[in-house]
Structure 1
Amino acid sequence: MSENNPKPEREEELPDLDRPFFSAVLTPHRSLGPTGFMILMCVFGVVCFCAGVLFLRIGAWPVFGFFGLDIALLWFAFRLNYRSAQTFEEVVVSRQEIAVRKVGPGKKLQEYRFNPFWVRLTVKRLEDEGVVKVSLVSRGETVELGNFLNPDDRTSFAGAMANALAIAKAGGV
């Protein structure tokens, strides 16, 4: 008995409709790393301590405590900043779906899924700044992407996302 539909020689030759062809993980940039933070805190601490000792010597001892409070507030502000730096957005595009996963501070998770044929990419540009807003719009739902990126990175991502969306709407790679 012969087969009417010959089987491909290898299974890898079959196109996988759900395989993503575009994937991006967007993370906020922080210019001060852990080593720089420690250096900054040590320098700030030495300056505050020396100034506090001067005030202590002239009899204004309560000021010494306020310099310690300044150090604590600066440390707390940087801790909050580094905590917010743990946010990221993951965008995955396949022929069948666009998946957006946003992870915020405290591991707060939001997931969005779109059909590439029904989604529209909107890019807002300002002449002075470049791309200021990138979002996906589908059936009344809008998801902004990369709000924490600088304008150059946002411009690069908008171009890559527009290309990926065009490929998905054309039927794949």
Structure 2
Amino acid sequence: MFPPGHYGMALALYAVVGYALLSRGYVRDALSGGGIVLSYTLFPDVDGQFEFLVHRGVTHTLWFALAVGVFCVLVVASALPNRPRREAVRGALWSFFLGSFAVVAHLLADVLNPWGVMPIYPVSPALYSLDLVRATNDAANYAMFAGGVAVATAAWFAGRRADRRSSLARRLYRRLRGRESVAE
């Protein structure tokens, strides 16, 4: 797929995660996580910049997804030592998830076209392809992008609505903790 198709797939898949976060009140985490996933979702196509890498080779595997997750942990590691241990571990796991998730979203978009991917190469040379649409099909790429935007928008409104309908116990807890005004 071309970038619009990859962005659409990443948005559609992340919408589930975003909804879960939004419905629990983690708006900042949902939005920043979505931005990170979108920024890393084209990372597997870095193989086009290097002559010694084959396109849809090692950068289009689950091993690369794990490596990108570790890379994301290293990127945020400079901020983690100053945090409490539990918060640092949570931040490291979250960054690992986001980096790996972005690459997996890329792989799933590439499975839709005839060239497919070999997700566990070199352990197995099995090629996975649904052969639904060619990667060069502009209409399919923009349709996937529009679909991803629609799903992400629906998740945003549904998640925000679920947050407003929080239980009486949750509202009372938030008031006691000073997170919510009394005039709700």
TM-score (norm 1): 0.29
Structure (1/2) with the larger helix percentage: 2
Structure (1/2) with the larger strand percentage: 1
TM-score (norm 2): 0.27
Larger Rg: 1
